[in-house]
Amino acid sequence: MAQILDGKTLSAQIRSDLKDRLNKQLERGLALPFLTVMQVGDDLPSTVYVRAKQRACEEIGIGFRHYKLPAETSMEQLGEAVRDVNNDSTVHGLLVQSPLPPHLDEIEVQRLVSPLKDVDCFHPENVGLLYIGRPRFQPCTAAGIIEMLLAYNIETSGKNVVIIGRSVIVGRPLAIIMMLKGRGGNATVTVCHSRTKNLSDIAKQADILIPAVGIAELVKADWVKEGAVVIDVGINRIPDSSKKSGYRLVGDVAFKEVEPKVSAIAPVPGGVGPMTVAILVANVMRAAGLKVQD
Ligand code: NAD
């Protein structure tokens, strides 16, 4: 039986620690950290993610605004809204929820967010700082995975890590962190993607396999080495008439058949997702000048 890497419990512990740190530092007169999340349109999964972020902030005592804009918002209007928040000194963190409607250029929008408030770590300046090993903010999902590995004492140094997915949000920053020197790093990293040939053979070489693709149950038991660690990042909705919502969430890993073969696995839901939110909160506190680690 594999060890289940319980991101839900771990995230709750991290958030509780952050809350204690926040209260102690507020006593010393520091400003209340504040996060604004901008959402253009009303994509349902995005709304669910924004709510999770809101709950986490409110639970800790961080200010939060869900800044909604209509789907037909132009690039100019969005730019103006971003600039307003950039110039508002009471807001410390700003993120623009993806996906944006297709007429808006996500990369251009990310460039407009002040790098000092870019708690998602998407601004080119922050990506550059990450690349040279001097990050200002941690990319939330990647850092959540690293914190999870560290918390469960899973060694990364010298290990073969295979990441499936090369997105700017997950695969690429994770590959950088895991190949750098330092905590959760020093790994030999292979990044696979939609054009990779013999994907299952490469996956099978992994000591630590991290699929971040968005294809339900893509990774089967015969893709995985006996005793490997599997961190499932994918979040996929599949129809399920037994659920009130009409769907259930599954990862990129066929959990039932993979779990008996591996030494540890982060499930979906309850694995990486909650860790992402904990890192976001830490980043907002950092942006407000608070200390989040000893
Ligand atoms: P994305 O669509 O931007 O990237 C997907 C990546 O998968 C691409 O690099 C693509 O090359 C690769 N890919 C696509 N089809 C493939 C195939 N058949 N074989 C191999 N590689 C393939 O997605 P993303 O934003 O990186 O998200 C990936 C998944 O992770 C989604 O399910 C998303 O919901 C989830 N996610 C979870 C969290 C979290 O906190 N748990 C955070 C972000 C994303």
pLDDT (0 to 100) of residue 28: 86
The beta strand positions in 158-260, using DSSP E, are: 160-164, 188-192, 208-211, 229-231, 236-239, 247-250
Domain ranges in the chain are: 30-114, 140-273
- Tokens representing 247? 């769907």
pLDDT (0 to 100) of residue 56: 97
pLDDT (0 to 100) of residue 141: 98
For helices 171-179 and 140-151, the axis angle rounded to 10 degrees is: 50
Choose one of 48, 146, 167 to mutate for the ligand 1 pocket test, by most ligand atoms within 8 angstroms of C-beta.
Answer: 167
CATH 3.40.50.10860 corresponds to the domain 30-114: yes
Task: Indicate which residue's Cα is closest to atom 5 of ligand 1.
Answer: 213
CATH topology of 30-114 equal to that of 140-273? yes
Closest CA to 7 of 283, 279, 293, 291: 279
Cα 244 to ligand 1 centre (Å): 26
Atom of ligand 1 nearest to the CA of 170: 26
What CATH number labels 140-273?
A: 3.40.50.720
pLDDT (0 to 100) of residue 73: 98
Cα 44 to ligand 1 centre (Å): 18
Active site residues: 53, 97, 120
Cα 34 to ligand 1 centre (Å): 29
In this predicted model, what pLDDT tens digit does every residue of 2-16 receive, in sequence order? 999 999 999 999 999
Atom of ligand 1 nearest to the CA of 276: 40
The span from the CA of 117 to the CA of 99, in Å, is 19
Collapsing DSSP to helix, strand or coil, 209 comes out as strand
pLDDT (0 to 100) of residue 281: 97
Longest CA pairwise span in the chain (Å): 57
Segments in the chain below pLDDT 50 = none
